[in-house]
Structure 1
């Protein structure tokens, strides 16, 4: 066998046994093709306190074959020495965990060795592989392999979009497959004419066998879909097991494996299964609903071929009565997912995220896991193991971001100054770090003071350097125009505080999180004082943004110049302050972000106090004047389209010094005329099954229950979005047109509250054209 060197990108990872020894198997995509990489024999490891070694040995006396105890140079955060417990097989490893978990304290026992191997070598996606190469059918197998990082390797991965159609019991009807080379549906039924490419099969068994053949023939690196892991793969696996079919779709003919726990995990050796919903959420996309029909409309401007809530009934009908139409629907779903992935570069985002964190491409969420991947090997090299959850015994909560009381009103010129990545900058400037906290508490006289008795070492830390590396990588990505990498880095940087403040993270310590947030409070309050000392009014502040009112007489160019001057002065003052107070360089950077002209900060409804996180301002763009809403009805999903349209119109009138009463009267007349009935629809999701709502029954549930009781719609369940309106007899589901809408309700609940938000308005100036007296205090 020839010794070879390859460079590739990791697609899947497994822990396998050969000759009764643990090995790791990684599938990589390389420029030379597929690589199946099998490492040298490995030992799975967990850590214990050295003082517990004798107890552990005694407990494991019947299981010591293949288990080795080694004293290490590592230590716990409390400075106790640590030993490693090494196992030659996974069976030994799991037995050790089972025997010891309730007997002594185990550390890092939850980390899979396939992940630890990569983590400790700083391998994040790309890897160099050396070993003994053997050519196999369709791939190269590398035995006795060793891996090291290849951070610059960027893979070219092929995708295939998959979608199944089935009955409510999971009985399969068809499977759609879309890739660069082909668009095809495998459908059960007698052959008949169709507008799409259909492979007709006789039954479910034949469908599954045809699917295996097609997947292996098309041979994608990445299988994508919409809820493809939790639904499509899970159903395919269940039907295959029921019918005695092996889904041999791994790159070496091995079967797909599906495991269920807190979430469903799919392993196809040599392939990645990437869910569209999870990937979009990881990329911080936000939608009113993540249903494919809605996302496709928002992203692509396209619709599914079936859009009604009772789609399952229609799918069953089509399967029995119009299979070509079902094939078209099935294929269109695959195409929509494919087009969303292409348009939003979701695969490129997943690759960039893996290159930064080392997490698997398909990993859901994973902020805590990403932090562990990045931090743990650095911690080990500094002589520490990771603590377990909550070992410090501290339970107090850290405060959230700073939100200043606002000064409501209409302003002509407001400048917004934003601290760039405030929390990561605080981490970097003040050396906030889990290990740094431990080292700082050991020598507090030399440490940087934090909050809530926190103290941070000036010399021993890792997180500040990680932040610096991420910041540099983000700037380099920006210079190259790599938007996906920029976004991935931004998400990771912004997650660092959240991870340290999460009780689900092994490094959680409220002294860490509060030393970030309370330092942020101090920075925001001090910045406000400095700006006001310069003679300008600060009307609001929120987490990292400061809103400054400047004279109405200033032109846009003068406002821009003033914003840049304030930015320069504040940055200089922070650099001087941090140097004089802490003898540290400042990485705080405030930027002049926005000039609003005009700007409106409303009061809390029914009060004179200014609201928080709710405002609207006008900015000038290349396309002209644009309104920017924050927290108001126009950006909220629980308000109707008529409320959003009215708010846009009345704010525009306010900013243009037009008659807001006339605009309000116009919208009241439109509602009363029945011309805008299509804009009177509320949309709200069911948080639980209908029968679980017993006491407090909100309007959308009342509408759904009424429709369900009459048999007009039985498809609504937990997670369904309910489209309803208020009729003169109460909430009703939207089914076709609206019957007898209660126009007075919409005027009272959707128009008047927005009108009352405006400055210096008179409710008596509004006439309701014969509508009943307003009752502004009542709720549905």
Structure 2
């Protein structure tokens, strides 16, 4: 019989001594099923000319076959031996045994996960509909089980169709009276949930006994049976905490579809077999426009829930609200709003992640956690297999630098009506136009081939003009696919679900193409080639400088240039730039946005702009720095807002001075919450590994002396207190501060608030003396040490 299903999750097991691929899916009728395939075996390649290869390897582990094959390696024909093993667990031992043999030069593709190898070779694609010939074979984990007679085939025309997914978002809150919570000691006091049935609720602990709460959570997952579980930093906190807590209490965290517990897997994500566990924080972490990446700010950015309309509780005060019966309802409301916010973010982001999964070939539960480089690499693996290319091995490489794209030095100031011109897909266009690829690169000393070469400006690297390289071929395919998707969108209602899904797909294709340049310079890449990345930026610099000169000669005021964007004074002549770039370089350039006002400081890549709809873009300022307290971040955001939204500079300066003075006065009089002064830093090593003692390490050692368990990866919250010792020795854990008057107000005024404000305010003439009433004025640089 034929079965049509949408692939949600994939894994493998050993059944009857052979590997069994298990594909968890949803049929067109909405049934959850497992499709098993026992017809695929693990393999790898041996390069060289060893004698008695099969006999030698068979002494280590069973070998099903050894056959001579021809493939391409960096575009050149190569003869290899394909070694097929019986089970994936044997591959590592066989690889090591092969490497030890005389005559073996290299072992290739021995480090590819088995279920990923299966998808690459047979063409199965995650988050995609498939058709497969099957026979029914009982059940597995309560799901109907089918045995595939041959591998499933993707139904590409259904890329704009999704099954009716059951989705649940969850968030946990833990008791933290002793600072950072410890699952060996501190209970999970709430597990809040919002799901696609419309329910939003909280499972609560019985006082400080959370056994019942954990069991209720397991029961909920079993009964509702979600396909997708959404979290926010759930890979980094919620799942590991729940797993360890359940283990300590002897509670079976049986939430996957086979009755097992979550397990940490690749890319640091937690696998919940048969479901897609998606941590939305991984997506938000890649969005530069969101500077402070807390859940409440991400939800506000995407229009899910406004911060001033939701309940906000400082994270380190959770235990106080839990212990106080009068405040506990506020706390539970806060917890539920976290789950609701997470679910709302999922509604915005999940369609894109589904398409990114389908385009890259990375399963849905892994695609958000995977690095951009990993996503690109799995896409390349699929193309390489189809083109007969063998993937190179990953190597340990020394760090190499190369000259990046051009960035003009901005002149500090406020600019009106600034147009941003974006070179659409500039780097992919350059790579295709000049055939830039690892397999087309000519080493120094190699003669120019008859077909000629492209020579990169400045750096002089040479690339064959033909045949078309591996990377340009992949890029051309992505561009073609994107055009096809956009063509399919043209006849659809923009408000339809199919249109929106196809729009996300074309976006995923564009993002993958644009990431190809960065992949070439990523040290962890299989197809790493510094010379390719270096040549791309060389060509880009050459093009951007040419366009800047044209703009200036045309009489257009060029304000700033950065990588593949040009900031110019808006005028009707902008079309001349667009036409010039299209005609001369065959690269699309478009008007991306217009800023009503744009603020530049003294540094490259630091600016803030006011858009027509009142939103403010912020790039490169302190709001992203971890060594600033929350109050300093808020001050800088407010100063940016006053600078850009005031009617004139005099009004802006007056508002800034008045506002910052009021903040300074509040600090001096201690009319401020200690929480706003806490500085958070993460321990990136164990305490005994630090050779110097920066403030957060000093604070961590104080916590350790008071009986707190300190470990690598822990976030340390501290404030600077009064005293004559050096700064690092005056860092005190906030939890040990008994009176806010211990705080060194001068430090916060002089080293946090004033520098944060001056970074912006100085551009419009605000000086230190305006803010603190001192004689004279120090420059911005005085505050940067």
Counterpart of 2:375 in structure 1 is 370
Q: TM-score, normalised by structure 2?
A: 0.78
Tell me if 1:430 matches 2:444: no
CA distance in 2, matches of 1:515, 1:542: 17
- 1:474 CA drift (Å): 6.6
Alpha carbons of structure 1 residues 406 and 772: separation in structure 2 relative to 1, 3 Å: closer
- 1:113 CA drift (Å): 2.3
CA distance in 2, matches of 1:644, 1:679: 19
Written as runs of structure 1 = structure 2, the 5 A alignment for 1:460-475 is 460-461=468-469, 462-469=473-480, 471-472=482-483, 475=486
Q: Structure 2: which 5+ runs fail to align?
A: 176-181, 491-498, 725-729
Tell me if 1:356 matches 2:364: no
Counterpart of 1:216 in structure 2 is 222
The match for 2:539 among 511, 514, 519 is 519
- 1:476 CA drift (Å): 5.1
Written as runs of structure 1 = structure 2, the 5 A alignment for 1:618-657 is 621=612, 629-632=618-621, 638=628, 639-650=632-643, 656=648
- 1:523 CA drift (Å): 1.0
Tell me if 1:503 matches 2:523: yes
* Structure of larger gyration radius: 1
CA distance in 2, matches of 1:716, 1:427: 45
CA distance in 1, matches of 2:619, 2:231: 33
Counterpart of 1:161 in structure 2 is 169
Contact 1:438 1:456 in 2 (8 A): yes
CA deviations over 1:553-581 (Å, ceiling 9, x no partner): xxxxxx4421123212332232xxxxxxx
Counterpart of 1:540 in structure 2 is 560
CA distance in 1, matches of 2:300, 2:451: 58
SS of 2:572's equivalent in the other structure is helix
Counterpart of 2:495 in structure 1 is none
Alpha carbons of structure 1 residues 545 and 210: separation in structure 2 relative to 1, 3 Å: closer
SS of 2:365's equivalent in the other structure is coil
Written as runs of structure 1 = structure 2, the 5 A alignment for 1:48-127 is 48-52=46-50, 54=51, 56-63=53-60, 65-77=62-74, 79-101=77-99, 104=104, 105-125=106-126, 126=128, 127=130
Alpha carbons of structure 1 residues 752 and 94: separation in structure 2 relative to 1, 3 Å: closer
SS of 1:350's equivalent in the other structure is helix
Counterpart of 1:445 in structure 2 is 450
Counterpart of 2:605 in structure 1 is 613
- 1:448 CA drift (Å): 4.5
Q: Structure 1: which 5+ runs fail to align?
A: 191-200, 550-558, 575-585, 605-610
SS of 1:686's equivalent in the other structure is strand
Alpha carbons of structure 1 residues 487 and 715: separation in structure 2 relative to 1, 3 Å: farther
Written as runs of structure 1 = structure 2, the 5 A alignment for 1:87-486 is 87-101=85-99, 104=104, 105-125=106-126, 126=128, 127-134=130-137, 136=139, 139-145=143-149, 146-151=151-156, 152=158, 153-164=161-172, 168-170=182-184, 173=188, 175-181=191-197, 182-183=199-200, 189=206, 204=211, 210-238=216-244, 247-251=253-257, 253-256=258-261, 258-259=263-264, 263=268, 265-268=270-273, 270-281=274-285, 286-290=290-294, 292=295, 295=298, 300-301=305-306, 307-311=313-317, 313-314=319-320, 318=323, 329=331, 333=335, 335-343=337-345, 344-363=347-366, 364-390=369-395, 396-407=400-411, 414-437=418-441, 444-451=449-456, 452-461=460-469, 462-469=473-480, 471-472=482-483, 475=486, 480-482=499-501, 484-485=504-505
SS of 1:362's equivalent in the other structure is helix
Written as runs of structure 1 = structure 2, the 5 A alignment for 1:719-730 is 720=715, 722=717
- 1:107 CA drift (Å): 0.8
Contact 2:193 2:339 in 1 (8 A): no
The match for 1:686 among 664, 681, 685 is 681
- 1:163 CA drift (Å): 4.2
- 1:116 CA drift (Å): 1.7
Counterpart of 1:196 in structure 2 is none
Contact 1:341 1:347 in 2 (8 A): no
Alpha carbons of structure 1 residues 399 and 128: separation in structure 2 relative to 1, 3 Å: farther
- 1:45 CA drift (Å): 0.9
The match for 1:42 among 40, 43, 52 is 40
CA deviations over 1:93-119 (Å, ceiling 9, x no partner): 343134335554211111122112212
CA distance in 1, matches of 2:771, 2:254: 69
Contact 2:428 2:517 in 1 (8 A): yes
Contact 2:169 2:342 in 1 (8 A): no
CA distance in 2, matches of 1:179, 1:107: 45
CA distance in 2, matches of 1:678, 1:166: 26
- 1:307 CA drift (Å): 2.8
- 1:128 CA drift (Å): 1.6
Tell me if 1:23 matches 2:36: no
Q: TM-score, normalised by structure 1?
A: 0.78
- 1:26 CA drift (Å): 0.8
- 1:485 CA drift (Å): 3.6
Alpha carbons of structure 1 residues 373 and 667: separation in structure 2 relative to 1, 3 Å: closer
Counterpart of 1:195 in structure 2 is none
CA deviations over 1:58-99 (Å, ceiling 9, x no partner): 532414644311111214336431121101223433431343
Contact 1:163 1:330 in 2 (8 A): no
Query: How well do the aligned residues superpose, as a CA RMSD in angstroms?
Result: 4.5
CA distance in 1, matches of 2:399, 2:341: 47
